[in-house]
Amino acid sequence: MTTQLNESLVKGGEFLIKETASKDVFIPEEWSEEQIMIAQSCNDFIDTEIFPNLDKIDSMKHPDLIPSLLEKTGQLGLLGSAIPEKYGGFGMDFNTTMLIAESFGKSHSFVVAFLAHSGIGTLPILFYGTEDQKEKYLPGLASGERKAAYCLTEPDAGSDANAGKTRAMLSDDRKFFVINGQKMWITNAGYANLFIVFAKIENDKYLSAFIVEKSFGGITMNEEEKKLGIKGCSTRQVFFNDCKVPIENLLGKREEGFKMALNILNIGRIDLGAATMGGAKLALKNSIRYANERKQFGVTIGNFGAIKHKLAEMATQIYATEAALFRTGHNIEKVSKLYMEDGLDTESAKLKAIEEFAIECAILKVHGSEVLDFAVDEAVQIHGGLGYSAEGPVERGYRDARINRIFEGTNEINRLVTIDMLLKRAMKGSLDLMTPTMEVQKELTSIPEFGDNGGNHLLAKEKKVLLNLKKTGLMIAGAAVQKLMMKLKDEQEILMNLADMLIEGYVAESVILRAEKLANLKGIDACQRQIDMAKIYLHAAIHKITIAAKEAIYAFSEGDEQRMLLLGLKRFTKIDPFNLKEARRKIADELLERNDCCF
């Protein structure tokens, strides 16, 4: 890597130790006309092809329906958004592909089939395939002629993917791999004609990956799984019985499959984060409209403070998560371009950039799925009895949302992964956590600077609070590492406390930067509600971080050390009072007036 590239590179996880200028982030208010048109084409497709057929899709009595819908999205160019034009795609930038994922996020079961095909089912070939493999398979995947499934999970290998027992043995003539094994929870399995299959070759330690066509034979399946939600997407167990795969269909290098799975899951995680925002916005939209229609005690329920609180909180959490999502997508795109300028080919550059932001991808998967769960739960509550009825508009979304905290690695695994990756990068020297941690420890024994509010410019006080929240994370993580050392990896509760602090800090910073940049572009008066949402979110983040920090402090410290950490926590989590109730009411009033999720 050249020195110039190294200096320009935005590093994953670096947000914890480095301030970001609002001018350097992308905000959704900056979508181009072309990107808005792409999102609109997705919305039009959903309105005309998906929503009228939701009951048919979920019934599973029309097995050709989702495959035909995938083909239609292929005809619109939406399946091949990430595929280069020379392979039949459109080669769109990373944020545009995530905008498509967000748009389809409200399509219930269909979005699961869509992302399983266009994401984890297609991208392994794009990023790891040979030129011959790309030319052979990518055009059909972009058009929808081929339907893809991703076969990683096994009965005894879920989060521990490398524990899989599926084996690939070289044939005597060394022209084929013969695969035997079982995969489960395979999305799109019922109609897929192309499978990305992970198996260990003979007695290898690590997985390898294979492109397996259904026409190769030796593939059987169980019946469709009966599920809590996403009932309309095909989910089956897949069995490989002496499935003969040509040797040229080895995907990537031998034993590269485990690394490949992890890298592709990074993309799956951030795409899932994008899709959850589409689902959350639908829940909010339905709730706003119901609050404007439903009358109790002679007035519409949108007039009640309790309903206003719910609507404003839903809007705030969605707005904040969206800020973090597209901030990250922009960073991935920016860094991939730097790698390309440094000489890497397009696919290698994008893969390396995505790997760089694996921490943020995990954060967005966790946070997005939990914001969606919050939104659909509040939607049911706002709708009351109708919310619990299958005849109403929100019951399906409530059930469909639950899988997202399990998909692409459970939220517990992803929380552990964020801290594990952060600490490993610090140990390797790619992130200098030690210097700022030592500075925070020195600050704990110094006299506080009274009256230092960060300046008088827009959101200056809030940005000072953000800086202190980062110090909180460094203080507690540093103390935990110093006290527990190698034992910390076994203290999952503490690691998840640290992860929650990291997640909330990143999202809070993202929404503050979004509001600041928007105000700089449009003026403060035009963005007052967005500024209110940023402040509301920051107050909530401080509350969550304080709880997580106290739990961690109580878990590993005692005596003078504990008192010092608690004093530091109190010092670093101060924030000026802000009338949250009035801010929420103003946000809700605008939502209700526009009868839509308008931010």
Catalytic residues: 408
200: enclosing H helix or E strand: strand 194-201
| The token pair that represents 127 in the structure block | 């990023």
Q: Can you give 204-247 as a three-state secondary structure string?
A: CCCCEEEEEEHHHCCEEECCCCCCCCCCCCCEEEEEEEEEEEEH
Q: How far apart are CA 79 and CA 249, in angstroms?
A: 22
Nearest-5° angle of CA 88, CA 91, CA 93?
A: 160
Do the beta carbons of residue 539 and residue 580 sit within 8 Å?
yes
| The token pair that represents 210 in the structure block | 């294979």
Helices (DSSP H) in 294-344: which residue ranges? 305-341
CB atoms inside a 10 Å sphere around CB 145 = 15
| The token pair that represents 56 in the structure block | 């048919």
What is the separation, in whole angstroms, between the first and last Cα of the chain?
40
Do the beta carbons of residue 274 and residue 232 sit within 8 Å?
no
Among 509, 120, 573, 144, smallest CA distance to 331 is for 509
Q: Residue type at 72?
A: K
Q: At what angle do helices 305-341 and 257-293 cross, to 10 degrees?
A: 150
Burial class (CB in 10 A: 0-12, 13-18, 19+), 66: buried
User: What is the Rg, in whole angstroms, of the alpha carbon atoms belonging to the chain?
Assistant: 25
Beta bridge partners of 300: 295
Q: How far apart are CA 206 and CA 228, in angstroms?
A: 33
Q: How far apart are CA 276 and CA 280, in angstroms?
A: 6
